[in-house]
Amino acid sequence: MKKPESPWMDEELTLFRDNVRKFIAAEITPHEAQWAEQQFVDRSLWRKAGAAGLLCTDVPEEYGGAGGTFAHEAVILEEQAYAGNTAWAKGVHEIVTHYIVGCGTPEQKKRWLPKLVSGEMVGAIAMTEPGTGSDLQAVRTRAERSGSDYVINGAKTFISNGHHAGLLIIVCKTDPTSAAKGISLIVAEHPATLPGFKRGRLLHKIGQKGQDTAELFFEDLRVPAENLLGGREGQGFYQLMNQLPRERLIIGVGAIAAAEAALHHTLAYVRERKAFGKTLLEFQNTRFKLAERQTELTIGRVFIDHCIQKLLEGKLDAATASMAKWWGTQKQCEIVDECLQFFGGFGYMTEYPIARMYQDARVQKIYGGTNEIMKELIARSLE
């Protein structure tokens, strides 16, 4: 299967893609089984990726980045999906980085961005709480000003990169009497070294087993007041909403690429697998089903490429990004499920990539805002 050439690709990005593919083949793929067993990637991967220029590629050069664009990030996301890599939560690291780029003070950018670019720090964002889910305005984690610090109390769960987090953005209430306007983002540097911070268990998941997902607890955790992102209280909800289109496109890009990979594996299988004296691809049902999936993927590819171009132009709106996240992840789950069926019993064995793709896909419809929330946001744009 040959996917359509994306209009945002150029010669430089083609060479970059080749380097990304080689890095994944050498530094990620051989370790997937080990990482799934230990539930997190090796810490050294982040520094290797930083040295290879694969972290924060669209961060300005003045802060240590490569000065690239989101197109470079899209290439990496696609290659991770094509390789079946879900253990390395690079997308979360990049989302955190762009909170700093988009909302940080000049001093905060100079202090934190070079360390995120190099892999010295791994980025994580402590957003979800046991009782909040998608309702961010209802967060209960509290930050109270005490002299030159904020004292933070609360608990977070499902935190990607929570095990390795060296720079943790904490979503908390600085004004508990307000809803959205009471939320602030406070950054904890090397939180594991701070009194009052505790990592809970690494959470066992249906899929994405090699990606560390942790519980975090704060009990009188003191963070310098200068670490309030942007320097003003009550800006947290706006800061979160401002970055969500990019976050949701990241999920959509990975979803379409993963579905493309699923179809690629399936085509290779049905060309070789025989039943009743002929290959599976010779059966009309196989051909028609895969023709439908190819059509859907071509539509998805064109739409995702459109969204990438819009983001590159600074014109991607929240409703369209929500469409990319909802439709992309929905089709990913549908296509992977139907592709698995062609493998029969082998599709249920985790030694086959299609089985792992099936496990890994399900959460895509949940994180980054559930698909039900995406539909609500799209619906609001119709009013």
Separation between Cα atoms, residue 139 and residue 175, nearest integer Å: 11
Residue 285: burial class (beta carbons within 10 Å; 0-12, 13-18, 19+): exposed
Q: What angle do CA 89, 95, 99 make, to 5 degrees?
A: 150
Distance from C-alpha of 156 to C-alpha of 81, rounded to nearest angstrom: 28
> 46-83 burial string, b = 16+ CB within 10 Å, else e?
bebbbeebbbbbbbeeebbbbebebbbbbbbbbbbbbb
Of the candidates 154, 153, 64, the one whose C-alpha atom is nearest the C-alpha of residue 116 is: 64
Closest to 250 measured CA to CA, from 104, 132, 93: 93
DSSP code at position 60: -
Q: How far is the C-alpha of 325 from the C-alpha of 245, rounded, in Å? A: 9
Judge whether 247 counts as a catalytic residue: yes
User: Residues 292-323, buried b or exposed e (16+ Cβ, 10 A)?
Assistant: ebbebbeebbebbbebbbbbeeeebebebbbb
SS3 category, 303: helix
Q: Where are the beta strands (DSSP E) in 269-318?
A: 274-275, 278-279
Residue 98 · residue 246 · CB < 8 Å:
yes
In 3D space, the residue among 165, 168, 170 whose CA is nearest the CA of residue 122 turns out to be 165
Could you tell me the sign of the dihedral formed by the alpha carbons of 123, 155, 221, 163, in that order? negative
Q: For residues 57 and 91, is the Cβ–Cβ distance under 8 A?
A: no
Question: Catalytic pick from 79, 247, 334, 351?
Answer: 247
For the annotated catalytic residues, the residue numbers are 247
